[in-house]
């Protein structure tokens, strides 16, 4: 009697596996094993080659720490272990003897890279005009302070002297066509390894040199290697990089003497408009980079000499002497200085444009002050003064020198046109906070010419580094 197939199947499913195998033909068993192998083995191979990743609760010191960065947060800069106070009464203070040419703790405690900064300008931004733009918020600044940088002079030490607002520190310059990277001290020092740089000019030029010293102090403190005790001519060396930095005092840029050398209070100067100031022009052939600037001292009483003869004067009230405008002397002095560079320098030179003042409510000697706490916007009305005429002269003389430069081998002359950017920063000056707020000193004049450190002037070195990079 033949049973239905479904009954056979039901009984078979109820039997143990070994019994089923006993009743199954050997060919069927072999076929089943082959099919099993073809299905399971590839799956096992795939699983072993690509294991499933599970989250781990175990961490290591190498993966837990933040990534290294070339920028330092203020919380690290406030560490007592790097507290260095500047000495008193020095044009640019020397680092204390126990900190000279030592590495700072900048790299020993890595921090995250600020999200607003970049170390490179993209290829499509290389032709960006760095000098047209706007100030935008930057909560990651400042990158040093008055307890970590020895190079800040008292009259620039705004926070030490009680300035109540700190918002002026938290802006950065944003060119219209690109994003200007924040100054990278490690990158700068690598770029200038084995080279030398000089700043020539007045106290605003020195102000920029001090800013650079402070920015670089996050990596290394330099050694003072000045050859003389003359505080107007300072030289530092960053021994780990063999980089030498010079600050050369020449507020008029040309040969200058006091009208009465025997009177230390004499404020009348003789300017030899067609003669070099050899104190700096004799040094620049040793430099690879040069930053030159001037302007503010030309508002003083001066006597002009040309061909060793008096050609006129400014604010001098001398009898039988032609009264000449400020622009006459400044134009000729700048022209002579640029000629000195064309004749004696073969590196990369920058003419940094005039730094505007921001006195409001009166001139500097009649109660003028600068009390604003934020930058101007470009669409705001900004008071204009003689500063912009000085800037126009600089642009004209630069263009003339640029034409002459084309005949020279090796020399590169560039205009660092920071005037417009700084015109928007009335909030960046010391004002009344360039001295102690005591009864004896509160009557001192307000300083709306120099710049607080840290402050907007640090942007000049952002721009300087970027311009150097484009010349590589």
Q: Catalytic residue among 71, 391, 435, 450, which? A: 450
Residue 15: is its pLDDT beyond 70?
no
CA dist., res. 27 & res. 253, Å (int)? 106
Q: For residue range 157-190, what is the model confidence (pLDDT) as tens digits?
A: 999 999 999 999 999 999 999 999 999 999 999 9
Asked if 336 contacts 274 with a C-beta cutoff of 8 angstroms, the reply is yes
Provide the 3-class DSSP secondary structure of residue 364: coil
Cα dihedral across residues 134, 140, 146, 149: positive or negative:
negative
Start-end of H helices in 247-405: 278-281, 326-344, 387-405
Task: Give the residue with greater pLDDT, 120 vs 406.
Answer: 406
Of 306, 296, 294, 295, the residue nearest 270 (C-alpha): 306
Average pLDDT over residues 387-414: 91
Q: For every residue of 140-163, which 3-state class applies, written as one string?
A: CCCCCCCCCCCCCCHHHCCCCCCC
Amino acid 435: pLDDT: 80
The residue assigned the tokens 């070099």 is 276
Q: Catalytic residue among 90, 105, 203, 226, which? A: 203
Q: Catalytic residue among 202, 277, 447, 458, which? A: 447
Residue 471 DSSP one-character state: T
User: How do strand 289-292 and strand 196-201 relate by DSSP bridges?
Assistant: parallel
Asked if 87 contacts 93 with a C-beta cutoff of 8 angstroms, the reply is yes
- Residue 263's pLDDT band, with cuts at 50, 70 and 90, is confident
Strands (E), 37-195: 133-137, 171-175
Q: Looking at the DSSP assignment, which residues form a beta bridge with residue 247?
A: 199, 234
Residue 217: is its pLDDT beyond 70?
yes
Average pLDDT over residues 357-371: 90
Task: Give the residue with greater pLDDT, 41 vs 243.
Answer: 243
Amino acid 189: pLDDT: 98
Mean pLDDT in the chain?
A: 79
Angle between helices 203-216 and 458-470 (to 10 degrees): 80
Amino acid 53: pLDDT: 35
Backbone angles phi, psi at 301, to 5 degrees: -65, 125
Whether 203 is catalytic is yes
Backbone angles phi, psi at 122, to 5 degrees: -60, 160
Q: For residue range 52-88, what is the model confidence (pLDDT) as tens digits?
A: 333 323 233 232 333 222 333 323 333 333 323 233 3
Least confident of 18-22, 253-257, 308-312: 18-22
* Burial 197-206, CB ≥16 within 10 A → b, else e: bbbbbbbbbb
Strands (E), 167-242: 171-175, 196-201, 223-224, 233-238
Asked if 225 contacts 235 with a C-beta cutoff of 8 angstroms, the reply is yes
Cα-based distances in Å from 36 to 22, 31, 40, 46, 120: 19, 9, 6, 16, 59
Average pLDDT over residues 13-40: 47
Least confident of 113-117, 123-127, 141-145, 406-410: 113-117
Least confident of 1-5, 144-148, 284-288: 1-5
Of 452, 446, 273, 268, the residue nearest 364 (C-alpha): 446
Task: Give the residue with greater pLDDT, 122 vs 461.
Answer: 461
Whether 205 is catalytic is no
């Amino acid at each position: 009697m033949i049973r239905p197939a479904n009954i056979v199947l039901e009984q078979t499913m109820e039997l143990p596996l070994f019994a089923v195998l006993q009743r199954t033909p050997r060919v069927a068993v072999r076929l089943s094993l082959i099919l099993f192998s073809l299905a399971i083995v590839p799956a096992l191979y795939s699983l072993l080659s690509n294991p499933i990743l599970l989250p781990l609760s175990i961490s290591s010191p190498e993966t837990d720490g933040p990534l290294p960065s070339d920028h330092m947060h203020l919380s690290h800069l406030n560490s007592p272990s790097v507290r260095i106070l500047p000495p008193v009464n020095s044009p640019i203070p020397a680092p204390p003897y126990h900190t000279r040419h030592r590495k700072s703790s900048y790299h020993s405690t890595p921090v995250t890279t600020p999200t607003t900064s970049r170390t490179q300008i993209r290829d499509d931004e290389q032709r960006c005009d760095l000098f047209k733009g706007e100030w935008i918020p930057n909560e990651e600044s400042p990158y040093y302070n008055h307890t970590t940088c020895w190079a800040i002079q008292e009259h620039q030490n705004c926070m030490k002297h009680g300035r109540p607002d700190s918002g002026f520190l938290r802006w950065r310059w944003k060119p219209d066509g690109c994003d200007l990277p924040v100054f990278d001290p490690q990158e700068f020092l690598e770029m200038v390894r084995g080279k030398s740089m000089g700043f020539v000019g007045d106290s605003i030029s020195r102000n920029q040199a001090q800013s650079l010293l402070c920015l670089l102090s996050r990596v290394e403190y330099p050694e003072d290697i000045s050859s003389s005790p003359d505080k107007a001519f300072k030289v530092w060396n960053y021994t780990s990089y063999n980089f030498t930095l010079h600050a050369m005092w020449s507020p008029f840029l040309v040969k200058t003497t006091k009208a009465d050398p025997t009177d230390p209070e004499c404020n009348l100067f003789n300017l030899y408009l067609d003669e070099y100031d050899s104190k700096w022009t004799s040094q620049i052939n040793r430099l690879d980079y040069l930053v030159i600037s001037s302007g503010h001292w030309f508002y003083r009483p001066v006597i002009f000499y040309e061909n060793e003869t008096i050609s006129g004067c400014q604010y001098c009230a001398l009898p039988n002497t032609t009264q000449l405008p400020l622009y006459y002397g400044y134009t000729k002095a700048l022209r002579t200085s640029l000629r000195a560079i064309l004749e004696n320098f073969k590196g990369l030179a920058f003419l940094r444009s005039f730094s505007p003042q921001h006195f409001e409510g009166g001139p500097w000697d009649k109660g003028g002050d600068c009390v604003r706490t934020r930058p101007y916007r470009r669409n705001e009305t900004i008071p204009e003064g003689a500063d912009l005429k000085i800037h126009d002269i600089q642009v004209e003389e630069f263009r003339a020198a640029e034409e002459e430069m084309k005949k020279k081998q090796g020399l590169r002359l560039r205009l660092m046109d920071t005037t417009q950017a700084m015109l928007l920063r009335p909030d960046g000056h010391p004002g009344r906070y360039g001295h102690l707020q005591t009864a004896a000193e509160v009557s001192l004049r307000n300083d709306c010419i120099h710049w607080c450190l840290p402050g907007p002037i640090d942007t000049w070195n952002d721009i300087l580094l970027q311009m150097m990079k484009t010349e590589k």
